[in-house]
């Protein structure tokens, strides 16, 4: 099994919103803001093949589905569908993807499922053979969003996914499509039922799996958020998120599971470390994965 990091469309978003209650003087050291106070963000997907005999894409980024005005409002940099180009560069076409795993359905994670915007065209899905894996609890939220995050969902998406007949809603640790090769963790601090997919590592220690890679989605969007108190203004419940993140990082550190970041422009993969004061950080940072074997 090999891994590729697949860059999708990039985004520029307000730095203050991305770093919650952290003061500008602090976050400006981690991500330098432009004249409009916006910072660079990646939308990076993870491709694994063969995984349970399948080619699996973890997320699709923001894509190119927005009409020009909204594309500008949400700071989407390119108008082409960058994810599809990055897939091609890695040797894959959308029809090669057997499974797409979605941590949640906010547009900057699921928008890449859709074909690029075109005047007068209604949205269509790009992956004709894929089973779509979504957490059931989050899916229910997407069907009935709260006013707090309604604008983060694509209203047409649930019906499009259901119409394929290939939507698998997951409730527990494992899915039908991926068996015991991918284990799901859940977090509610960012959005209810956020699903964190761990590609299970090859090692077993006292009945536990060690090694492997976990897709951190919006629980930990990039390296600055590995520091436990740092949250996003977009999180629905910052205190809960901090508690969940602490337990999540302690578990990944103990089992040597590497972190995969979707929004960090410079870092795709890193190992978790903890200093003598108990502060979490990262080491062995990797900017991109090109057909990399799982064992680090």
235 lines the binding site for Zn ion (CB under 5 A): no
Binding range to Zn ion, per CB under 5 A, among 20-28, 70-78, 80-88, 210-218: 210-218
Please, what is the end-to-end C-alpha distance for the chain in angstroms? Answer: 13
By beta-carbon proximity to Zn ion, the closer residue of 236 and 292 is 236
What are 156's two structure tokens? 């047409």
What are 236's two structure tokens? 């629905």
Minimum distance, C-beta of residue 192 to Zn ion, in the bound complex (Å) = 11
Picking from 260, 256, 218, 210, the residue whose alpha carbon sits closest to that of residue 47 is: 260
Compose the 81-120 pattern: x for residues touching Zn ion by CB under 5 A, - for all others: -------------------------x--------------
By beta-carbon proximity to Zn ion, the closer residue of 201 and 221 is 221
Q: Which residue is nearest to Zn ion (CB)?
A: 106
CB 47 within 8 A of CB 55: yes
By beta-carbon proximity to Zn ion, the closer residue of 20 and 281 is 20
Minimum distance, C-beta of residue 149 to Zn ion, in the bound complex (Å) = 8
Which residue in 40, 59, 198, 218 binds Zn ion (CB under 5 A)? 218
Residues that bind Zn ion (CB under 5 A): 106, 218
């Amino acid at each position: 099994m090999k891994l590729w990091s697949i860059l999708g469309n990039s985004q520029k978003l307000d730095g203050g919103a991305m770093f919650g209650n952290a003061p500008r003087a602090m976050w400006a050291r981690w991500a330098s803001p432009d004249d409009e106070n916006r910072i660079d963000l990646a939308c990076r997907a993870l491709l694994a093949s063969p995984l349970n005999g399948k080619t699996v894409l973890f997320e699709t980024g923001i894509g190119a589905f927005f009409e020009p005005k909204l594309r500008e409002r949400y700071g989407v940099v390119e108008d082409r569908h960058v994810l599809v180009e990055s897939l091609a560069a890695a040797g894959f076409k959308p029809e090669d993807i057997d499974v797409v795993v979605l941590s949640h359905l906010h547009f900057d994670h699921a928008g890449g499922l859709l074909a690029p915007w075109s005047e007068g065209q209604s949205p269509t899905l790009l992956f004709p053979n894929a089973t779509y894996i979504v957490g059931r609890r989050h899916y229910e939220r997407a069907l009935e969003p709260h006013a707090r995050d309604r604008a983060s969902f694509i209203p047409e998406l649930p019906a499009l996914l259901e119409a394929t007949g290939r939507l698998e809603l997951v409730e527990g640790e494992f899915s039908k499509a991926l068996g015991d090769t991918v284990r799901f963790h859940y977090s509610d601090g960012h959005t209810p039922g956020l699903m964190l997919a761990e590609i299970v590592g090859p090692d077993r220690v006292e009945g536990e799996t060690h090694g492997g890679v976990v897709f951190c989605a919006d629980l930990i969007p990039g390296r600055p958020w590995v520091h436990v108190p740092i949250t996003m203004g977009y999180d629905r419940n910052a205190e809960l998120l901090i508690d969940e993140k602490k337990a999540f990082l302690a578990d990944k550190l103990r089992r040597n599971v590497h972190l995969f970041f979707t929004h960090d422009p410079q870092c795709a993969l890193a190992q978790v470390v903890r200093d003598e004061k108990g502060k979490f950080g990262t080491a062995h940072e990797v900017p991109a994965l090109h057909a990399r074997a799982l064992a680090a």
